[in-house]
Structure 1
Amino acid sequence: MFLSLLGITFIVSLLVCFIVAKLFAKPIDGILERIVADDIAYAWTKYLKFAIYVVGISGGVRINYLENFLRAPTEHFTPPVLTMDRWVLEIYRTIIESLQSIAWMLLVFFIFALIAYVIVRAFELRTNAKGQAGANNNT
């Protein structure tokens, strides 16, 4: 039963990561193409998709918690029993933990992307202002 639980939680986490990666593909591409050069943006997009999978699966498949199903019973610990209710709870927990992990990762990415966007925009405005000032002096 434990191996089935491990496999199912992995597959559910993988599916959640796939859906999130598809949902955020265009926003991530757009942001990175705006901030960095096109050839580097492609590599960063690939890396971020990989990070979504790594963070989502590691957040959804919590190995430390699943080890409780393998521990031997003691007088202070009874291993959880895999009933239908437990299965539903574990699958729900896998979905929520995967989404939560991915959400934190994307939040950090979007915060840094916003900072980078502001910096890039400030340089563009400064360059445009200098170009217009130089054009006005030549006339």
Structure 2
Amino acid sequence: MFLTLLAVTLLLSATVAWAVSRAFSQSIERILSRIIADSISAAWLQYMKFAILVVGISSGVRIHELERYITAPQWAEKAKIIALTPERWVLEVYRTVIETLQGIAWMLLAFFVVALLAYVVARLSELKRGGGAVVPALNGTPDLPS
């Protein structure tokens, strides 16, 4: 029964991570192509997809938590192994989905913060190279230098 639970959590977390990877692929691709204006951005995109899968699976399959179903706690004298009831199955499936999404969310948050900082640096660099480019006014017409 434990091996089935382990396989289900592995497959479920991999499926959720793959779906999130597909959902964010276009956004990540646009961000990377803007920050890294080179063909290497495609390699970074592949790395990000791989990282989403790894983080999702490692967050979703919680080995230390699943050990409760095969070993009794060592600090209690008359402790028993927890039985895998249908209620526990539902709870473990729910935890797998939530933990997978939570791990990926933290990773993507870190990526987007770093990407935002890189975008600001790239934008400031472009403005410095442009030598005081014309900035549009709030009413939609460009301000002309005097």
Q: TM-score, normalised by structure 2?
A: 0.85
Query: 1:30 matched to which residue of 2?
Result: 30
Cα RMSD, aligned residues only: 1.6
Greater per-residue helix proportion: 1
Tell me: higher relative CO, structure 1 or 2? Use CA pairs within 8 A at least 6 residues apart.
1
C-alpha displacement at 1:72, in angstroms? 4.1
Give the aligned length: 132
Residue 126 of structure 1 aligns to a residue in which SS? Answer: helix
Q: Which 4+ stretches in 1 moved above 6 angstroms?
A: none
| Equivalent in 115, 118, 135 of residue 116 of structure 1 | 118
> For the Cα contact (< 8 Å) 2:60–2:99, is it kept in 1?
yes
| Mapped pair 1:41 → 2:41 | yes
* Alignment CA distance shift 1:67-1:131 (3 Å): same
How many Å separate the matches in 2 of 1:115 and 1:22? 24
C-alpha displacement at 1:94, in angstroms? 0.1
C-alpha displacement at 1:7, in angstroms? 0.2
Moved more, 68-77 or 42-51: 68-77
C-alpha displacement at 1:68, in angstroms? 1.4
| Equivalent in 78, 90, 93 of residue 95 of structure 2 | 93
Deviations, residues 29-70 of structure 1 (Å, cap 9, x unaligned): 000000013321011111111000100000000011111111
How many Å separate the matches in 2 of 1:97 and 1:65? 12
The unaligned stretches of length 5 or more in structure 1 are 133-139
C-alpha displacement at 1:130, in angstroms? 6.0
Query: 1:136 matched to which residue of 2?
Result: none
> For the Cα contact (< 8 Å) 2:72–2:82, is it kept in 1?
no
The percentage of aligned residue pairs carrying the same residue is 52
Letter in 2 for 1:6: L
